[in-house]
Amino acid sequence: MYTISEVAKLLDVSTHTLRYYEKENIIIPDRNENKERLYSDMHLKWLKFVMKLKQTQMPIAKIREYARLFEEGEHTTQARLELLENHLLSIQNQLETLASTEKMLEEKINKYREFINQSKSETVK
């Protein structure tokens, strides 16, 4: 079991973030006799998944919904699948946008480099 500080350090997040996830019912840590939060390896695995969802722009409301569905049990499997499939489509759209933006930026950068190199060679003449 890990304390909130240990988990924060392991995952490179703040304790505030972990408390926020708890407030949003995204994670419910265990408690010891002093009411201090304790996290298991399963909690860590879940938090790593949550952080990947967040890094890929899944809104907290959707993460909360997924967590709620998971807690409700196996009868929500189809709804969880659909939620993750929709998020995968969103990621794929993000990748397409990033790829086209990367291409545009590379073209623009190359034009600037060409212009700068051409200006330098004309100055030398």
What is the pLDDT at residue 58? 95
Give pTM, 2 decimals.
0.77
pLDDT band at 125 (very low <50, low <70, confident <90, very high): low
Residue 47 has pLDDT above 90, yes or no: yes
Q: Where are the domains of the chain?
A: 4-124
Rounded Cα–Cα distance for residues 52 and 7 (Å): 16
* Other beta carbons less than 10 A from residue 6's beta carbon: 13
What is the pLDDT at residue 56? 94
Residue 68 has pLDDT above 90, yes or no: yes
CATH 1.10.1660.10 applies to domain 4-124: yes
Mean pLDDT score, 70-98: 96
Residue 108 has pLDDT above 70, yes or no: yes
**In this structure, are residues 65 and 83 in contact, taking their beta carbons and an 8 Å threshold?**
yes
